[in-house]
Structure 1
């Protein structure tokens, strides 16, 4: 897998933060060999726009507090249907369930290597 250890650690933190806010279908894929502009995509979904925003806030807070990371770019925050956080080496996609089903990013990247993510509250290494 081409994803560096610091990125894996950040994805694990994001996974736990998303799970803390009851995100659904949490997953991540290694896109480094296919894209060249980022190492990984992180996906999660939620039932409401409010929950999408809550998940994004929790992820941002956790990454800032634990790794002192801030997103380079944030898109979609106002609508709360599909929010993207670009951290450079990885990109977080939190989508409303309808957008997740409609755009099917999981299917688009189904041939990319999956990244193992911890379950909620699993200790970080």
Structure 2
């Protein structure tokens, strides 16, 4: 998987957990620490955890790629996941506004997000087996539906 595909997949998984303001910045040629930043906002500590867990689990399950680095804790309100040259930043609104990474890396072009999941790897077609002769199917007998009698009305009022 190429770095841009990793960045877009991480953005997609963050979106699956309703992260907000998801952006991908292209830092190639601008930073020695990463080629891409994925920035997203989680509105609460449980959502911060859910976004982090979704990205980590889906990257392992779908792409066999665990993060090389997991940094930050929930109290800091800023989680960083590193996948090769891709850094994923999951921040609360307060931390995102305070650190203003988009402004710090203002020279970095923003890349379009793709909402669709990356295309799965093509699988090799299975060899076709010779068709076996089928026996004629027997007709099933229809069962008559049993009608229920309408429920008796409640006793009349006095």
Q: Same fold (TM over 0.5)?
A: yes
> Who is 1:48 aligned against?
44
Alignment pair present for 1:111 and 2:107: yes
Instruction: Name the structure where strand makes up a greater proportion of residues.
Output: 1
Structure number, greater radius of gyration: 2
Distance 1:83 1:60 in 2: 12
In structure 2, the residue matched to 1:100 is 96
State the Cα distance separating 1:123 from its structure 2 match: 3.9
**What is the root-mean-square deviation of aligned Cα atoms in Å?**
1.5
Change (3 A) 1:61 1:80: farther
The answer on whether the counterparts of 2:6 and 2:83 sit within 8 Å (CA) in structure 1 is no
The alpha-carbon deviation at position 37 of structure 1 amounts to: 3.1
Aligned length: 119
Query: Greater relative contact order: 1 or 2 (C-alpha under 8 angstroms, separation 6 or more)?
Result: 1
Structure ranking higher in helix proportion:
1
Q: Secondary structure at the match of 2:90?
A: strand
C-alpha separation in 2, matches of 1:55 and 1:77 = 13
Corresponding residue SS for 1:34: coil
Query: TM-score, with normalisation over the residues of structure 2?
Result: 0.70
TM-score by length of 1: 0.87
